[in-house]
Structure 1
Amino acid sequence: MNVHLRFLGAAGTVTGSKYLVEFSGQSLLVDCGLFQGYKQLRLRNRDPLPVLPNHIGAVLLTHAHLDHSGYLPLLAKEGFHGKVWCTPATRDLAQILLPDSGHIQEEDAAFANRKGFSKHAPALPLYTEGDALDSLKLLRTVPMGQPFEPLHGWTAQFFRAGHILGAASLLLEVGGKRILFSGDLGRPDDMLMLPPDPPPAADAVVIESTYGDREHPDEDTLAELGPALQRVAARGGTAVLPVFAVGRAQEILHAIALLKANGTLPHSLPVYLDSPMAIHTTDLYERHLGEHRLSAAQCHDMEHVAKMTRSTDESKAIAQQHGPKVVLAAAGMATGGRVLHHLVQYLGHHRNMVMLTGYQAPGTRGAALGDGAKSVRIHGQDVAVRAEVVQMRSASAHADASQLMDWLRALPQPPHRVFVTHGEMGASDALRHRIETELRWRAMVPEHGSTWAV
């Protein structure tokens, strides 16, 4: 009897990770992510899965980013009631991310209804904050490296992936087959996270390819961030940094703390972290000492280098602060959240700056800004872009193409097949080509919805 692997997301695109593993009448889902970016991808979030949620026995999360976990509240709302397995830090992050995701969806729907710019009447959230809180009751934790049994006769084990707090690769053993899911792999030289563990032997490997067609520059985050913030401060402008609340916000805060400590930036330069989710996430680094590179003292500096703005009123008050300042706000691709209000406020003046701090999926506002758009649509209005737009190349929590290849080379023996996923088509196909030509392994980019025997 064959083990089957169905690609229900992140196939030919960089979001929506969902891999259904089926064997002998049982199934589990590896990752449970939201589609983001292009509208036709986001619409998939509202399509029913080709398997009934109550027929899925368990969910295993590689990490807490919404493109890997954000569909969970909807899955639970529609009838899934099994256990959701993850690492302790992933659980802590999911407790922040998922309710916030539901809250933002409720806010965005209410705003659309109030302003009348939705094509649907009324606009409805995909799920609510309450749905997200309900789904958290299903979470069960297991430490890195400890084998566990998500379903009877199925064995699984998490390995450190080095991407964000709690991020893991996953080895799944069932029906005499070993399937290795890379999850999102971090960089060996990441500012915050420890490097990924060497991968264990497997019959099939599912590897991400976010940066499958490019290499990171030699320049580091400090070398990119320092001069840009010096420049905007000198002209009295505001720098708006759309940041991912988990990982990127903390890397930028840590970098700003270092730049202030070494004199590159003045201690008096005001910095705001305008994201309750990012604020809560920053607090977790002290709770999980030993899972990242920072000392307790560095965690303290990271937490105190910025004014933490929690309430909506505090967020609005930032605009009343004149003179140079730095505003970090979610979301990282400018797809929603508080950063949109700051972009409306500051995009229209040449004195200001928008710094894009990581990967921008095609179809997002961040990608449009990075591509030089003269205006972007926010809350139903076209907003002119006159601010300087800077795309940081060094700030990435993903392994680049050569680092992905190095991780594969560390496998104890060649797998029978490599499935290249979680990348735009060009990036995935470029990595597939390198695997086939350099390693002489069978590799393929699976199509969305396709099923393969392992």
Structure 2
Amino acid sequence: MEFPMFQLTFLGANATVTGSRYLLETGRSRVLVDCGLFQGYKPLRLRNWAPFPVAPESIDAIVLTHAHLDHSGYIPRLVRSGFRGSVWCTPATRSLCRILLADSGRLLEEEAEYANRKGTSKHHPALPLYSEADAIACLKRFRTVDFDESFEPVPDMRVRFRRQGHILGAAAVTAEAEGRRIVFSGDVGRYGDPLMPPPTAPDDADWIVVESTYGNRRHPAVDAGGELASALRPVLERGGVAIVPAFAVGRAQLLLHLLTQLQAERRIPDVPIYLNSPMATDVSALYADYPDGHRLTRTQLDAMARNTRVVNSVEESKALNRRKGPMVIVSASGMATGGRVLHHLVAFAGDPRNAILLSGFQAGGTRGARLVAGDKTIRIFGQDIAVKADVIQLESASAHADADELVHWLRSARRTPETVFITHGEPEAAEALRTRVERELHWHAQAPEYRDTVDLAATGMSAVA
């Protein structure tokens, strides 16, 4: 007698908020849900360079929850290594991946070139994980499906995307095979986000895989604009420069919208606001293409565009470092791991009149996390840079649901799942959410480890192996 096979292996996002990768296997096919980069601590980043745990050519399809690089950024490398299937996502996610993946490849090439020029790498020559050309080439494998439409990435599995807030195109993924159903939360958005719609309740499922980025924290009950104004006013009034490392997708647009409102309401001084991120500039243009994917009106988008001074060239970016305050510079990346914001930190972090405003979660091992921890020096381009500027973390600007919102999202499920798998969080956050799920919802919950496998074809309580 042939027994059905449906199993899940956790290939990332365990005890970390990066490297989201979940392998679903049936008797006939393999589907990878998310294909993200590992970021942060060096042992995690080295996983990007290790051979993929299963042969890339044996994977039949990829299903993406959304475009952030910790969910999509490994796709070019997987394609270069032999993956030949389709990548399924929402239309907005594909549009964002066109921007993010190409930019990621370009930055990886620049970092390798810099390391070779300066001799800062142990490898000779230093090579990029993948190139911009690799990123562009992988886009031909993308296929799009709208929210709530059922599709078959492989013949023996049905999938649908459910709107999840967070960023443009972000979705929860519901997958069904062998009469069993599993939901992947992706990144859960916020219920009161001024930029994005609230997340949709999860579909009925036998299992739920849920992120836990803020599984041990509550966002403060403060107005995002008010928190930003309180942080900025003292800096700008003393003639300082506010450096705002911001994720190019979502956070940069929210911050520019809030800054435009605050200046219109005279809650902060009328100083120049610069957007120095070509990627964030391109992403902002997509908001007009997907008006149903966010809360901003056309009038608000136009006002934001008029109020923002876009920095295009490298020469303009360098010139900005020679300017005096007061001014606000919004620049990627959000965790200060790369991009033009690093040059601004070199230029402005050493002046106590200035401030560094961090606007989202800072993964362990990143410069952003070290700044939040109070480090007085950070290493950039092989140099130790003194940090004398104020460092302020904006809790209300996060695009991730906090612990209460994650529990609320789970509670909105219409039936109790057999098991909730807690992933995509630092160990303390994952364990805190696991405990709350068991104590408050009275559901079975586990925090799987890297490369654990679960038999989804079996009935009853799940166990990892």
Query: How far did residue 291 of structure 1 move?
Result: 1.3
Alignment of 1:154-165 (within 5 A): 154-165=157-168
1:34 alignment partner AA: L
CA distance in 1, matches of 2:384, 2:329: 22
For residues 30-69 of structure 1, the C-alpha deviation after alignment (integer angstroms, 9 at most, x for no partner) is 0000000111100110111121111000000000000000
**Aligned partner (choices 252, 255, 275) of residue 255 of structure 2:** 252
State the number of aligned residues. 453
Matches within 5 A, 1:19-38: 19-38=22-41
Three-state SS of the structure 1 residue aligned to 2:8 is: strand
Structure 1 CA distance for aligned equivalents of residues 305 and 436 of structure 2? 41
Which structure 1 residue ranges, 5 or more long, are not aligned? none
Distance apart, 1:303 and its partner CA: 2.2
Q: Secondary structure at the match of 1:4?
A: strand
Shift of 1:232: 1.0
**In the aligned structure 2, how far is the partner of 1:284 from the partner of 1:300?**
13
Match of 2:112 among 105, 109, 112: 109
Provide the residue aligned with 1:352 in structure 2: 354
The equivalent position to 1:44 in structure 2, one of 42, 47, 50, is: 47
Q: Tell me which residue corresponds to 1:65.
A: 68
The worse-fitting range, judged by mean Cα deviation, of 311-320 and 238-247 is 311-320
In structure 2, C-alpha distance between the alignment counterparts of 1:395 and 1:333, rounded to whole Å: 14
- CA distance, structure 1, for counterparts of residue 317 and residue 347 of structure 2: 12
Name the stretch that deviates more: 65-74 or 346-355: 346-355
- Within a 5 Å distance, the mapping from 1:296-307 to structure 2 comes to 296-307=298-309
Aligned-partner Cα distance in 1 for 2:301–2:276: 18
Paired residues of 2:28 and 2:156 also in contact (CA < 8 A) = no
The CA deviation string for residues 232-289 of structure 1, in whole angstroms up to 9 with x for no partner, is 111111110000000000010000011011111233x011100000000011111110
Deviations 1:114-155 (A, max 9, x none): 111112222111000000000111111000010011101210
User: What is the distance in 2 between the residues matched to 1:375 and 1:261?
Assistant: 36
The CA deviation at 1:360 is 0.4
Given that 1:373 and 1:385 are in contact with CA atoms closer than 8 Å, whether structure 2 keeps it comes out as yes
**What's the offset of the Cα at 1:385?**
0.7
Alpha carbons 1:348, 1:387 under 8 Å: kept: yes
Distance (whole Å) between structure 1 residues aligned to residue 391 and residue 15 of structure 2: 28
Structure-to-structure mapping, 1:297-376, within 5 angstroms: 297-376=299-378
Residues 212-223 of structure 1: matches in 2 within 5 Å? 212-223=215-226
SS in 2 for 1:282: helix
For 2:409, the equivalent position in structure 1 comes to 407
Separation of aligned partners in 2, 1:302 and 1:94 = 23
Measured after TM superposition, the shift of residue 20 of structure 1 is 0.2
Residue 426, structure 1, aligned to residue 428, structure 2: yes
Question: 2: CA distance between counterparts of 1:126 and 1:21?
Answer: 25
CA distance in 1, matches of 2:345, 2:47: 28
Rounded Cα–Cα distance in structure 2 between residues aligned with 1:242 and 1:76: 30
Asked whether 1:230 is paired with 2:233, we answer yes
Instruction: Indicate the SS of the match to 1:332.
Output: coil
Aligned partners of 2:146 and 2:306: how far apart in 1? 30
Aligned to 1:444: 446
8 Å CA contact retained: 1:220, 1:395: no
- Which residue matches 2:463? none
Question: How many angstroms does 1:113 deviate by?
Answer: 1.2
Task: Give the TM-score, by structure 2 length.
Answer: 0.96
Q: Distance in 2 between matches of 1:304 and 1:251?
A: 15
Hey, what does 2:8 align to over in structure 1? 5
1:372 shift after superposition: 0.5
**In structure 2, distance between residues paired with 1:249 and 1:258:** 14
Aligned-residue offset at 1:25: 3.0
Could you say which residue in structure 1 is the equivalent of 2:131? 128
Partner of 2:392: 390
Report deviation, 1:191.
1.1
Residue type matched to 2:354 in 1? N
Residues 272 and 308 in structure 1, CA contact (< 8 A), matched pair in contact too: yes
List per-residue Cα deviations over 1:385-433 (Å, max 9, x = no partner).
Answer: 1111111111100001111111111111100111000000110011011
SS at match of 1:448: coil
SS at match of 1:149: strand
Please show how residues 144-293 of structure 1 align to structure 2 within 5 Å.
144-267=147-270, 269-293=271-295
Following the alignment from structure 2 to structure 1, what is the Cα–Cα distance between the partners of residues 335 and 306?
Answer: 25
Matched letter for residue 423 of structure 2:
T
Whether contact under 8 Å (2:236, 2:269) holds in the other structure is: no
Instruction: Give 3-state SS (helix, strand or coil) of 1:125's partner.
Output: coil
Gap regions ≥5 residues in structure 2: 457-465
Quote the Cα distance in structure 1 between the aligned partners of 2:306 and 2:286: 14
- The equivalent of 2:459 in structure 1 is none
TM-score by length of 1: 0.99
- Contact 2:237/2:269, CA 8 A, preserved across alignment: no
- 1:365 shift after superposition: 0.3
Contact 2:209–2:420 (8 Å) recurs in 1: yes
CA distance in 1, matches of 2:194, 2:51: 40
What one-letter code is carried by the residue in structure 2 that aligns with 1:285? Y
Q: Which moved more, 1:253-262 or 1:118-127?
A: 118-127
Distance 1:323 1:442 in 2: 54
Residue aligning to 2:460:
none
What is the CA deviation profile of residues 305-331 of structure 1, one whole-angstrom value per residue up to 9, with x for unaligned ones?
A: 211112111111112322311111100
Paired with 2:260 and 2:438, the residues of 1 have a C-alpha distance of: 43
Asked if residue 79 in structure 1 is aligned to residue 82 in structure 2, the reply is yes
Give the superposition deviation at 1:171.
0.3
| Secondary structure class of the residue paired with 2:291 | coil
Secondary structure in 1 aligned to 2:151?
Answer: coil
Counterpart Cα distance in 2 of 1:240 and 1:71: 29
CA contact (8 A) 1:283 1:303 kept: no
CA contact 1:62–1:170 (8 Å) conserved in 2: yes
> How far off its partner does 1:107 sit?
0.5
Could you tell me whether the CA contact under 8 Å between 1:73 and 1:135 is conserved in 2?
yes
